[in-house]
Amino acid sequence: MRHFRISKSGLIVIVLNLLGWGAFGFLARQLYSDSNRVITAYQELYTTTRGKENLSTVSRTLAETAGSQATITTAFLSGDELVAFFEKIEGLSRTAGVVLALDEPKVSSDKTPNLGLTFQAAGSFAGLYRFLAWLENLPYRLVWQSLSFSLKSGTTWTGNFDLTITSYIPSNATK
């Protein structure tokens, strides 16, 4: 059997190599950890800077369009404004000399919410026509589904009307 002997100088070389490799591994691990921290800090800085730029752009756009926002807002009927809207319709009918019977409105929650209105009106032909013209000139986008006029008696006309307000925003969508 052969014995393997390591001399003192050989042992010192092995120990120094092990210490060198250990130090290299430690430094490599520290370098990897530090580079990850630098990359994470850079990403956070980029995200923060980009967020500030986006916020600045949005603020500038809001300031530039402030005058148009009121106009745009009036073009949409909010669910919170329904009572006032119906009172306005009833006021228009009285002014036109038309008796109005408004059915329960139907809110559709399809892809685009809208408000369906069905109503009957009675009065002179000119009054009915005037009332419909005033409705048509409301600032909301209206789509007439059906219109029918008939002579009831003498000069009294009746009409059945079905329209949809497509520029309708339900109350829960604005909050």
* Fold observed for domain 74-173: Alpha-Beta Plaits (3.30.70)
pLDDT at 169: 75
Query: What separation in angstroms does the CA of 152 have from each of 130, 138, 174?
Result: 18, 28, 43
Q: Which amino acid is at 99?
A: V
Using alpha carbons, select from 134, 108, 106 the residue that is nearest to residue 119: 106
Q: What distance in Å separates the CA atoms of residue 124 and residue 61, rounded to the nearest whole number?
A: 50
So what's the pLDDT on residue 98? 94
3-state helix, strand, coil in the chain (%, to 5): 55, 25, 20
- Closest listed residue to residue 116, CA positions, set 172, 168, 174, 173: 168
Q: Which of 78, 102, 79 is nearest to 90 (CA)?
A: 102
Tokens of 104: 């329960």
Pairing of strands 114-123, 99-102: antiparallel
Q: What is the pLDDT of residue 175?
A: 39
- AA letter at 43: Q
pLDDT along the chain (175 residues), means of 10: 76 89 92 91 89 86 77 69 85 93 83 85 93 88 89 89 83 49
Say what the pTM is.
0.56
Query: What's the confidence (pLDDT) of residue 157?
Result: 93
